[in-house]
Amino acid sequence: MNFKLESTAIQTAVAGLKFRTQAFINGTFADAVSGKTFVTENPATGRPIARIAEGDAADVDCAVKAARAAFESGSWSRRKPAERKQTLLRFAELVEANAGELALLDCLEAGKPIADCVNIDLPDTVACLRWHAEAGDKLYDRVSPTGPENLALILREPVGVVGCVVPWNFPAQMVAWKLGPALAAGNSVVLKPAEQTSLSALCMAGLAAEAGLPAGVFNVVPGFGPTAGQAIGRHPGVDMVAFTGSTEVGRLFLRYAAESNLKRIILECGGKSPQVVLADPPDLDLVAQNVVNSAFWNMGENCSCGSRLIVHQSVKDDLLDRITKLAGTWTVGDPLDPATRVGSMIEKPHLEKVLGYIAAGKADGAKLALGGRQILETAGGYFVEVTIFDEVTNAMKIAREEIFGPVLSVIPFATEAEAVAIANDTNYGLAASLYTRDLNTAHRVARAIRAGTVSVNCYSEGDLTTPFGGFKESGFAGRDKSIWAHEQYTELKTIWMQLA
Ligand code: NAP
Ligand code: MG
């Protein structure tokens, strides 16, 4: 289903939507073993969308057994990489053919602007699946430089059964970031979407089967974190978990692994990313555009959100003026309206959390420069104004904790050393931006900032060719995207041979 980005066409498309609401295990859609369901809600209206099968430990166990059987059968794990590529490319094609529907599902469940879902999330999802599909048959193993009496092969083998536990902020895209490299490497997957956003993952499961992925290779168990999520983390039949979500929950997976089978754990977690504007920035309008995009894109519900603007005191007032004016043009409203730039917060408790941070900013003495209030209550949803605080110090709560909402903190500085110190004074280290006209300053500051991705004179997460992940408490042991993502879904094996 594809449609024009125009209100009537969108409403018609919504009316025609069909939902997959059952778990997908061993190639079949089925109710939860317990028969339980939970409601998924539209956060822009507060109204229910559908009831979803509530998987728990019993369903995870079925899915892991199916994934293990598929892995051991070799139906996928031992197929030629070139053949896996063909299936995954067909899958990408089907996702592309159904991109309109998937975009609507993410828009409805996550409250994300439809224009972003259509123009960013779904094209990126398709591109990601294609990139990893294509990479799978272009990777070579190695022969070690041993003496003439031996031959030592250093091989990469699929890890086995991979559990993927993903968040709600980029639902379809996060599935692709995990699934693309995990499947290309030959693994079987058991995925648990976030409880708020199961629909696009379930739709993608149907498309993967249609593309010819053998039964049991990709399973989706919708459900809650403490039950279904924990069961994946503790299952002795899961060889690895790839997790994206909060640092708090990421930590739990390390515990689950320690207390079960020492499964490999890869974590992509939160951030409090700095945007550093030095005393010699390029065109300030361009800086303002990037700063606003970094802080408010996806409602600030973005792990690499540039939530701290660390700006040289000589340009602060001028830049603040421009970003305030520009941010004021980012329309907050109905996610289904193609003109909306900022949709709703994901759920009521999260809205309350964001409002709590705004209250903390005021109480700590930061100066409110824009927004700060809940709005559009009559719609029934969870909307908050785009919010900017000036005169923030890095010690304040709003500068230290991940808010995951549209709240920007502006922190002035006097010297480059001070800027770097503030940028690094955080437990996180996912992303950073810096703005300067001087090439030497750019290299010096980019190297000094402790973050997985540093962008210069722009806000960017790179593209599919660049690894994405964090230093410090933003991540653990791996990277999404790029060839480095493939490696993390493989085990290293040495085959040592004695030659006659
Ligand atoms: P979250 O609460 O940590 O949830 C992530 C996933 O873990 C969900 O599927 C969740 O299930 C599950 N979970 C929750 N509690 C669990 C438990 N006790 N045991 C096992 N699994 C559990 O994160 P979120 O609120 O969905 O997403 C926001 C966070 O994700 C932010 O911190 C953001 O920075 C981070 N994020 C990071 C990246 C990155 O690439 N670094 C990308 C996007 C988002 P439920 O849905 O049932 O809670
Ligand atoms: Mg959650």
Mean pLDDT computed over 473-494:
97
Instruction: Work out the angle at residue 55's Cα, subtended by the Cα atoms of residues 102 and 250, and round it to the nearest 5 degrees.
Output: 80
Q: Is the pLDDT of residue 438 over 90?
A: yes
54, 109, 268, 301: the active-site residue: 268
Contact 474, 430 (CB under 8 A): yes
**Shortest-distance atom of ligand 1 to CA 170:** 43
SS3 274: strand
Mean pLDDT computed over 19-42:
98
Q: What is the pLDDT of residue 29?
A: 98
Residue whose pair of structure tokens reads 């997908």 in the numeric block: 24
Sign of CA dihedral 434, 385, 301, 218: negative
Read off the pLDDT of residues 111-157 as tens digits, 9 standing for 90 and up: 999 999 999 999 999 999 999 999 999 999 999 999 999 999 999 99
Mean pLDDT computed over 199-211:
98
Q: What is the pLDDT of residue 148?
A: 95
Q: Which CATH superfamily is domain 7-269+474-494 in?
A: Aldehyde Dehydrogenase; Chain A, domain 1 (3.40.605.10)
CA of residue 146 relative to chain centroid, distance: 42
Whether 163 lines ligand 1, by a CB cut-off of 6 Å, is: no
- State the alpha helices, DSSP H only, in 111-149: 114-116, 122-135
CA distance 248 to 143: 41
Angle between helices 199-210 and 81-97 (to 10 degrees): 130
Question: Which CATH number is 274-463 given?
Answer: 3.40.309.10
Cβ neighbours around 335 below 10 Å, total:
29
Q: Is the pLDDT of residue 197 over 70?
A: yes
- Mean pLDDT (the chain) is 98
Choose one of 39, 121, 169, 427 to mutate for the ligand 1 pocket test, by most ligand atoms within 8 angstroms of C-beta: 169
CA of residue 257 relative to chain centroid, distance: 22
Mean pLDDT computed over 238-262:
98
Question: Is 128 an active-site residue?
Answer: no
Mean pLDDT computed over 395-407:
98
Mean pLDDT computed over 374-391:
98
Q: Is the pLDDT of residue 325 over 80?
A: yes
**Shortest-distance atom of ligand 1 to CA 195:** 46
**Shortest-distance atom of ligand 1 to CA 192:** 9
Q: What is the pLDDT of residue 1?
A: 64
Q: Name the residue among 104, 389, 75 with its Cα closest to residue 215.
A: 75
Phi-psi region of 276 (alpha: psi -120 to 50; beta: other; left: phi over 0): beta
Q: What is the pLDDT of residue 2?
A: 81
Exposure of 286 in the CB half-sphere (CA atoms within 13 A):
11
Q: If you ran DSSP here, which 8-state letter would residue 299 be given? A: G
Q: What is the pTM of this model?
A: 0.98
Phi-psi region of 309 (alpha: psi -120 to 50; beta: other; left: phi over 0): beta
Going from the Cα of 316 to the center of ligand 2, the distance in angstroms, rounded, reads 36
Going from the Cα of 170 to the center of ligand 2, the distance in angstroms, rounded, reads 13
128, 164, 303, 305: the active-site residue: 303
CA distance 225 to 239: 19
Looking at ligand 1, which residue's alpha carbon is closest to its atom 32?
246
Read off the pLDDT of residues 68-106 as tens digits, 9 standing for 90 and up: 999 999 999 999 999 999 999 999 999 999 999 999 999
The domain ranges of the chain are 7-269+474-494, 274-463
Question: Is 107 an active-site residue?
Answer: no
CA distance 72 to 68: 6
Read off the pLDDT of residues 144-157 as tens digits, 9 standing for 90 and up: 999 999 999 999 99
SS3 71: helix
